[in-house]
Amino acid sequence: MQKKQAKERIEELRKQLEYHAKKYYDEDKPEISDFEYDMLMVELRNLEKEFPEFQSKDSLTQKVGGHVKEGFQKVTHEVPLQSLQDVFSIEDVKDYIKKIDEKAEENGIKKVNYVVETKIDGLSAALEYKNGEFVRGATRGNGTVGEDVTENLKTVKTIPMKLKDKIDITVRGEVFIAKEDFEKMNQEREENEEELFANARNAAAGSLRQLDSKITKERPLDIYIFNVQKIEGKEFNSHYEELEYLKELGFNVNPVCIYCNTMEEIEKAIQKIGEERENLSFGIDGAVVKVDDLKFREILGTTAKTPRWAVAYKYPPEKKETKLKDIICQVGRTGVITPMAILEPVKVAGSTISKTTLHNEDFIKEKGLKIGDTVVIQKAGDVIPEIVSVNKEKRTGEERDFEMPKTCPVCGAQAVREEGEAAVRCTGIECPAKLFRNLVHFVSREAMNIDGLGENIIQQLLDRELIHNIADIYTLEFEEIASLKKKGDKFAQNLVDSINQSKQNDLYRLITALGIRHVGSKASKLLARKYKNIDNLIEADFEDLSQINDIGPIVANSIREFFDQEQTKDLIQKLKTAGVNTQAKQEENIDNRFEGKTFVLTGTLEQYTRGEATNLIEKFGGKTSSTVSKKTDYLLAGEEAGSKLTKAQNLGITILTESEFNEMCQMGQAPTIH
């Protein structure tokens, strides 16, 4: 390669790596696999070695990729948390050991012993203890400066707050999420239509780097300690001794640690970890070979980025070919219809794979998949099986194209894909696959507000087959409800009262409760005001609906699709029969003093909840928005107002205190808050 070409390629690689490092380390949302990133890094490292005149201290080959996230206090690591040099073959490991042995011979050291450990796929952190008590925890950051995540680390149950020895010590560990916990998290996120975590490492990193420790506490974080960074009052000769002492102190130490005397033993240890990695409860992305002698480590020293006394062997992702026998569709709790690949069973990375998700229609088209194809399977992050490509050379002509269903495979209702979305959804409100979620939404506070009918009770009612659709809520008997709890009479009476009370709700609450896509409480109030009763709304045509301010064609189309379903008509009739109000209540003292005005709420209000303040604004004809823009008329600012206040000030928007807002509301007869 010519110098000019080399320089251009080096610059291109650095830009790519900086971009992907930012996605990986800072945003916890990688766009390429670890292997693809590693290969780009190897290419850059080799080019910089071949053309040393183009080397730069700013290159990612010379520094750690992370940065400190805004909102966290910075922590300067007294002992840097360095990265590891990666190698990708046993021959590379042998070359490394040969160099270490040569260095040992130069220094009169006859024998070098090693420790081989699992390279845990998580986020590195330093834990600092004073007099045996946990005082501070920080992420690696850029290796020199990290983020203070002390409060978040306190939520990790396996981190001891007090050690078994009153000692000053700083240790390094890897925060991770176990494979099983990761799968459960992603399953829940899929059911809630939330973006899935790309892998367990990024899930752990994103969880630990939350600005709100309450969110971190809800995540199943764990940690394994693998190194002593600094210690006062004690000395050790070997790394292995350090690990034993860490166990005695009460730390959760890396469970896979193999002591080796020779290169042959090191190779066997790497092979053993590779064979057993599937059975480990946590994800790994390699095996780390470390010099055991701590004094020899000092002689070997470090580069700006990596220690010379350790190297990380990275396992290549295992890929296998198999047949795509069929594609079936599953319906999630939120109605998303997901295509699933049915595969001829094949063993990949230690486990037998017979099916895997195909995500959506676009994924199938992007991969060019046909039923009957020979496909290549790998396990992403050693956890999730995925189809990575098609072997088109093995096509026989008998392969079939796949089309997403036009109707729900569970209930037969229309299946729709809205513009700009990848997901196809079932529109049936009585679909058994969606029933639990539909019930939870129907009874929620912003909808029918049936107090006492929480998720646990709903699940019990479904399990006992006491309800089969939403309207069955209104046919529940006292005795049936009481049977759900020991001495359940009081609970049953309260719930019966709440159910009966909900029958009298205003129409807008019923519209909200129906869960029409894109129609929240704000749009429900507009619809209730305009159409006065449910029958008028059912009959409203697309043109009429789309003319309403803040409705528009997308929402109008969603409303029409919903009310055109036979399931919807059936449910409305059942609710009417049960005595549920379907009329808009007459508003007394109509006062539109805020008509045409847009409010944004920020901070904590003393006299109102956000919902109450929003209701009051809407009763006076105004509307609320979640974002500050030039179209905003007022910002209602409570205690601890944040960036919205600053933006409003910069735009010259009128800032209201709660007292000033009250004065505006009290200039006339204020409507009652519901």
Give residue-wise pLDDT tens across range 600-641.
Answer: 999 888 888 887 888 888 878 888 888 899 989 999 998 888
Buried b (16+ CB within 10 A) or exposed e, 35-68: eebbebbeebbebbeeeeebeeeebbbebbbbeb
Choice among 95-99, 328-332, 591-595 with the minimum mean pLDDT: 591-595
pLDDT surpassing 50 at residue 673: no
670 pLDDT band, cuts 50/70/90, is: very low
The H or E element that residue 37 is part of is: helix 34-50
pLDDT surpassing 80 at residue 666: no
pLDDT surpassing 70 at residue 589: no
In the chain, % of residues over pLDDT 90? 57
Six token digits for residue 444:
């929620």
| Residue appearing with tokens 């670890």 | 34
669 pLDDT band, cuts 50/70/90, is: very low
Cα dihedral 652, 657, 660, 666, rounded to 10, equals 120
Rounded-to-integer distance, Cα 548 and Cα 534, Å: 17
70 pLDDT band, cuts 50/70/90, is: low
Cβ contact 398:372 at 8 Å? yes
Cβ contact 294:314 at 8 Å? no
Rounded-to-integer distance, Cα 159 and Cα 229, Å: 16
Q: Which residue has the higher pLDDT, 58 or 632?
A: 632
pLDDT of amino acid 206: 86
Could you read off the pLDDT of 186-199 as tens digits, one per residue? Answer: 888 877 767 777 77
Could you read off the pLDDT of 382-391 as tens digits, one per residue? Answer: 556 889 899 9
Residues with a catalytic annotation lie at: 119
What structural domains and CATH numbers belong to the chain? 3-54 (1.10.287.610), 74-313 (3.30.470.30), 319-394 (2.40.50.140), 427-577 (1.10.150.20), 598-665 (3.40.50.10190)
| Residue appearing with tokens 């780009």 | 40
Cβ contact 512:447 at 8 Å? yes
Could you read off the pLDDT of 45-57 as tens digits, one per residue? Answer: 888 888 888 888 7
Cβ contact 227:172 at 8 Å? yes
Query: From start to end of 576-667, where are the E strands?
Result: 598-602, 623-625, 634-637, 654-656
Query: What predicted TM-score, i.e. pTM, was given to this entire model?
Result: 0.56
DSSP per-residue string spanning 232-284:
SS---SBHHHHHHHHHHHT--B-S-EEEESSHHHHHHHHHHHHHHGGGSSS-E
Using DSSP's 3-state secondary structure scheme, residue 602 falls into: strand
Could you read off the pLDDT of 411-448 as tens digits, one per residue? Answer: 999 999 887 788 899 989 989 998 998 999 999 998 99
Residue 291 CA to chain centroid, in angstroms? 37
pLDDT of amino acid 619: 79
How many helices (H) and strands (E) would you count in the chain?
Answer: 24, 22
Name residues whose C-beta falls within 8 Å of residue 653's C-beta, 6 or more positions apart in sequence.
Answer: 628, 632, 633, 634, 635
pLDDT of amino acid 671: 39
674 pLDDT band, cuts 50/70/90, is: very low
Which residue from 242, 255, 257 is spatially nearest to 297, judged by alpha carbons? Answer: 242
**What's the whole-number average pLDDT of the chain?**
89
pLDDT of amino acid 199: 77
275 pLDDT band, cuts 50/70/90, is: confident
